[in-house]
Structure 1
């Protein structure tokens, strides 16, 4: 490999050959790996537990797509509230941008679902087959009954984990009450899920996707498919934290006796531990690469070797280009990071304001388009409307509809009280009558108000009363 340019961290293009040998990383312990494992499996546990949490007698997080109601800890969202989801997605994207600008690709190494499930599936191989060397040797062994039995055991455990993952995903949509209690007895003996077709299709898709991604695609998903690995380099600057090999300190690399340090060699002892522990199979000593997910496994492995040979830690470490190449302190606040933080603050503030000021009651007024107005037998002008009331709370409420007082106008209702269950909507026909001797001809603004009987919620909406018919 040619020597790197003096003013930048060396960058190596990733090998895009998807048919290369399967990566079998060595599992190690260390400061960063302890943080990584705790973070990954805490998030995994949260994913598995959340569907079982209850709030006000209902599943706390439930995206009930069939009924188009979405429940999140006491807040009910309907399809027309989709803009909240859009804003939340934008906030998540900008948060990822902030993390990337400051700390590089740590999301991939510590929290990405692909990383979590791949780590879990590889650990299953470690338990059944053995550590890295045994797994590599196992792949090269000729087919035998022992090899087939171990492979089948690994595949079976993968399949069980995939089904559990799929069932958890579907639980967020179908609901745990329905998914795990809709069973029937086949032949009066064997219990079998009584699920609709869409649940079966969803279970199959999630099971297959989990099995394929974590069992087979693995690091290729991060290298070949995931777009984040491609555009994250655009967001890096000289002060972004990245996992880097100290080329000046480590080169020229070479083996040596323990406790010695030949003058013609750098600190790298050519143990290849940094390569063996890498979940994407790269050599961090080749420079910054798109396949690096910044899990810092190489950092822990190298520090362990440095301790054993008596050299200072940090040959491979979290650092920045400014520190490593230019030998200057990194700058924490810079224009790009400040801009992202400002935009993120505005978005989060706006989201909080919208949620706290949100009235969980909606009124929509639609006019009769076929005939804007008519005159009844008593000579009164009638305008007909359909008022749609939506109870966005998670409790039943009774609502009353009133017309803001206005001379010459009166409201006629079929029902004085409208009881609605949680999340229920109702289209209510109403008519407004106008005295032609009192109201002006043309269009007159009118305001309809709906309020809950207990006085908790109240919302108003304006429409038009017209004296011109069609």
Structure 2
């Protein structure tokens, strides 16, 4: 195809018949960024459960007690909307990144990519580089193959087990998971519940299978993100692309020469050999491409060696590569996403700042609106639900805002509550019929911690109806 004939970047369908992919490991600018990004996130995942905050695990999702701790914040089941809000923001952030930078999440930060990369590196360390691994797969079974396979599987299992223990530690807690032991016949044994054993086994199995066997098939056939990415791409989305006009027709040549009838692609297939999903980027945009940029680094290295300019494979946009126009960085969609995310972040921050770590709810006794006691006073019964959302134990007091002719009666004056604990406090308010107004009268109940740090008031009504 001549340079005068414009082309569109072709899009290829999925191929579920490919053999096992053994990528060649390559170094370069993008792979350096990728390794730093992946292992920073991996280290963060492994370290976070060990961080303490106020003598408590900083991040703990205690489903058994229905309390979720994130540093200084305590969330209860009724606060689930915060997590829903967070996931909505995360989803729109991912959409915005996809519109601008394509599947950069998949190549640089996705857990499936990180664990697959580690598992493949174990194979490289034990068996050897790409060609040795391919040859090893085809070799007949013998003692050496059994030994190396066993070592690979054992390391994979240890990595999967560490992953599972880390996942579960976010729910059970590192203290209960790692430091609670009992002796069974003189042998130390963890005192885990049946549920803990089940989840450790489940996560170990899932990690082992996903990173050891599913690998790129998880990205291309199961993960929905790869499926709808094409809907979000436009002409200004950054994608990894092969410069067809510059590279074609491809062909081999002697080092230091550049035949006039050939393009810059020397048919070395390095871009295919380093691809973790086993595709040929020269065939055009494909669903399997996770934009890890390994092909860019490999191609640039080859171009340096043969003395050709870099960028035969590069991050670019369809507008720049095909239409030879400047990429429009600020598009209407990016602007819309930025406005939406700004609004969502603003609402989330405001809601968190406005969130009171003491929650009360007043419910009237449904059995009777009001009654007359032996002294002739009108009685209204209520149940006040008090929830301590702090991470410390507090004692709370309930008071009725002064109102002529009304008094409050409690079963006990002080209510101690542990962190995250709730209690339904029954109480009665009495009104002098000679003083209070007929019908409904607004009342205000105030709950305050004994140290004066937290105070919440809520309004309800006192009624004389039925008298």
TM-score w.r.t. the length of structure 2 is: 0.97
Instruction: State the alpha-carbon separation in 1 of the partners of residues 39 and 142 from structure 2.
Output: 35
Instruction: State the alpha-carbon separation in 2 of the partners of residues 443 and 360 from structure 1.
Output: 31
Q: CA deviation at 1:371?
A: 2.0
Q: Is the 8 A contact 1:98 1:340 kept in 2?
A: yes
Q: Does residue 1:337 correspond to 2:334, yes or no? A: yes
The size of the alignment, in residue pairs, is 466
- Which structure 1 segments of 5+ residues have no match? none
Q: CA deviation at 1:311?
A: 0.2
Q: Residues 13-412 of structure 1 correspond to what in structure 2 (within 5 A)?
A: 13-17=13-17, 20-188=18-186, 190-412=187-409
Q: Does residue 1:12 correspond to 2:12, yes or no? A: yes
* Structure 1 residues 323-342: Cα deviation after superposition (integer angstroms, max 9, x where no partner): 10011111111111111110
- Which structure 2 segments of 5+ residues have no match? none
Q: CA deviation at 1:439?
A: 2.3
Q: CA deviation at 1:4?
A: 13
Q: Is the 8 A contact 1:182 1:193 kept in 2?
A: yes
Instruction: State the alpha-carbon separation in 2 of the partners of residues 226 and 247 from structure 1.
Output: 29
Instruction: State the alpha-carbon separation in 2 of the partners of residues 410 and 42 from structure 1.
Output: 61
Q: Is the 8 A contact 1:4 1:10 kept in 2?
A: no
* Structure 1 residues 133-181: Cα deviation after superposition (integer angstroms, max 9, x where no partner): 0000000011111111111111111111111000000000000111112
Instruction: State the alpha-carbon separation in 1 of the partners of residues 383 and 466 from structure 2.
Output: 17
The range that moved more, 321-330 or 449-458, is 449-458
The range that moved more, 409-418 or 311-320, is 409-418
Instruction: State the alpha-carbon separation in 1 of the partners of residues 44 and 428 from structure 2.
Output: 51
In structure 2, the residue matched to 1:423 is: 420
* Structure 1 residues 184-219: Cα deviation after superposition (integer angstroms, max 9, x where no partner): 11102x111111111011111111110110000000
Instruction: State the alpha-carbon separation in 2 of the partners of residues 262 and 115 from structure 1.
Output: 39
Secondary structure class of the residue paired with 1:34: helix
Instruction: State the alpha-carbon separation in 2 of the partners of residues 240 and 8 from structure 1.
Output: 14
Q: Is the 8 A contact 1:371 1:469 kept in 2?
A: no
Secondary structure class of the residue paired with 1:291: coil
Q: CA deviation at 1:103?
A: 0.5
Q: CA deviation at 1:444?
A: 2.4
Secondary structure class of the residue paired with 1:331: coil
| Residue 5 to residue 462, structure 1, CA distance change in 2 (3 Å) | farther
Q: CA deviation at 1:469?
A: 5.0
Secondary structure class of the residue paired with 1:208: helix
Secondary structure class of the residue paired with 1:336: helix
* Structure 1 residues 76-132: Cα deviation after superposition (integer angstroms, max 9, x where no partner): 011110010010000101110111111000000000000000000000101111110
Q: Does residue 1:436 correspond to 2:445, yes or no? A: no
